[in-house]
Amino acid sequence: MSETLTLPDELRVTTEQWLDDVEAGLVRLENAYGGLRAADASSLHAAIADVRTCTSFARRMFDGAVPLGALADASWVPITKPSLELAAAIFSRGYEFAQTPFALLEQAKALLSLDMYKSFSLEVAYVLGSTFTNLTRAVWDDYPQYAPPGWSAAK
């Protein structure tokens, strides 16, 4: 029998809220920029769909419905060659869906065993990694003005 992640109720509520916030940020991004050029709209749709694959999987993992060690069926579909308009949109709204949930991680650390915390934080990192890889990285690569200092020098 495979082991699953078992969250205390208070952590489950906080975790669900975080995932709801990530998904709400994605919806706001989609809705606010529905009039993008076709290539941007298609690329954004594919990237967001892939992030949703990760958030949906994380919900199942946090509900104990997925064995530890399983991975989401994500394709890691980054936006490609975003226009300046799309890059600006992602940059201006990135804080809505891609912030590290430090309070959530601290709560998990206080409530879970070390092994369970490692599995929990790995899944949180997977969701954050999907938002970074799919939405932010191309913006930072193509528009250095939106990247943190030293981003292009690190390559």
Residue 1: is its pLDDT beyond 50? no
Listed by start position, the domains of the chain span 9-154
Question: By percentage, how much of the chain surpasses pLDDT 90?
Answer: 56
How many residues are listed for the chain in this entry?
155
Which region, left, alpha or beta, applies to residue 32 given φ > 0 means left and ψ of -120 to 50 means alpha? alpha
Contact 113, 52 (CB under 8 A): no
In 3D space, the residue among 74, 72, 84 whose CA is nearest the CA of residue 47 turns out to be 74
Distance CA 46, CA 57 (A): 17
The pLDDT of 145-155, averaged and rounded, is 79
Distance CA 30, CA 138 (A): 17
What are phi and psi for residue 4, nearest 5 degrees? -120, 165
Q: What is the pLDDT of residues 86-118, one digit of tens each?
A: 998 888 887 777 789 999 999 999 999 999 999
pTM: 0.89
Q: What is the pLDDT of residues 34-50, one digit of tens each?
A: 678 888 888 999 999 99
